[in-house]
Amino acid sequence: MSLRDALKKAGINDEIIDKIESLGVEDIVRMTEEELSKKLSISRRDARKIIDFLMEERVGFRTALDIMKIPEIRISTGVRSIDNILRGGIKVGSITEIYGRAGTGKSQFCFQMAVIAADLGKVIYIDTERGFSPSRLRDISLRFGKNPDEILSKILVFSPDSVNDLRASIRSAKNLARRGGVSLLIVDSLLSIFRSEYVGLEMLAERQKQLSLVLKILKEISAMRTSILFTNHVIGRVSESFEDLAAGGYIIGHFPDLVLWLRKGVGNTRILRIVDSSELPEAEAVFTITKGGLEDI
């Protein structure tokens, strides 16, 4: 039975079915009932009925054994010590947060991942702090024996000026990812533009609301097998164990699949630690930053 026939059987008329097909099932099942009711000009009750129906049609249970047999693809970081603790690198389709104080190398990590991921498809780099450096990408490309012009031509860059700009750029990234061929989406950094636009405790609720909208879209993009990497700052205090804590609180804390903490070591060394992961134990890797990017010591 086709989707149209199934919707008709569920009591949905042709006009609404046409709109559903126009919007696309993948987008509709990620909408709230309020969003869908506005788009289709129907009641929230009917919108909930449509969402529930489409979700039930998508449900398909698999055994744990079947899931284990699915090949796992990871994007190498180009640093052996980091790849060792990450079991090969950043998992394709996952969401990774890397946080740390200023000058610890968060953007350098992003630059290197952009160069490496460009071999797998286009890379989208959303630069909220105006720190993107094509010359650094060129140096890193040369270190890995890649043609810098070819690598840079695969990296799409946008520097948003506002939260609206950021949200629009991520929506555009979603459209590109839907068509396939986008290996990695980088947001460097995610929270800075929110913190500068929504200042003060009285704006906190609205800031978190707008941040939730952006996170929702990023989650949808990751479901399209595009890896997400975003940087974050630390809050102005340390935990009881004297570790830096990532900014963003609960809403950010439970969003990524993998959380990495980056800090300075002795001299020009850096220490990357797995802080949170559902599949990886806590571990640390030590490396250095050179003209050619992140390297083993």
pLDDT digits (tens, 9 = 90+) for 188-227: 989 999 988 888 888 888 888 899 999 999 999 999 999 9
C-alpha distances in Å from residue 277, one per residue of 75, 85, 96, 205: 17, 11, 10, 28
Kindly report the pTM of this predicted structure.
0.82
Find how far residue 40's CA is from the centre of its chain.
Answer: 29
CB 190 within 8 Å of CB 231: yes
Look up residue 233 and give its two tokens. 């700052």
Question: Would you state the pLDDT for residue 6?
Answer: 78
d(CA 207, CA 114): 28
Look up residue 280 and give its two tokens. 């990886």
Beta pairing partners, 228: 95, 185
Question: Would you state the pLDDT for residue 1?
Answer: 61
**In the predicted model, what is the mean pLDDT of the chain?**
90
Q: Is the pLDDT of residue 38 over 60?
A: yes
Question: Would you state the pLDDT for residue 239?
Answer: 54
Question: Would you state the pLDDT for residue 137?
Answer: 97
Q: Give 118-122 contacts, CB < 8 A, sequence gap 24+.
A: 118/146, 118/151, 118/154, 118/155, 118/183, 119/146, 120/75, 120/183, 120/184, 121/154, 121/180, 121/181, 121/182, 121/183, 121/184, 122/154, 122/155, 122/156, 122/176, 122/181, 122/182, 122/183
Sign of the C-alpha dihedral, residues 144, 150, 156, 158?
positive
Residue 35 burial by CB count (10 A; 0-12/13-18/19+): exposed, middle or buried? middle
Question: Would you state the pLDDT for residue 276?
Answer: 94
pLDDT digits (tens, 9 = 90+) for 235-251: 865 555 567 888 888 78
186: part of which helix (H) or strand (E)?
A: strand 182-188
pLDDT digits (tens, 9 = 90+) for 265-289: 998 899 999 999 989 999 999 999 9
Range name among 12-21, 132-141, 155-164 with the lowest pLDDT average: 12-21
Percent of the chain residues topping a pLDDT of 90:
60
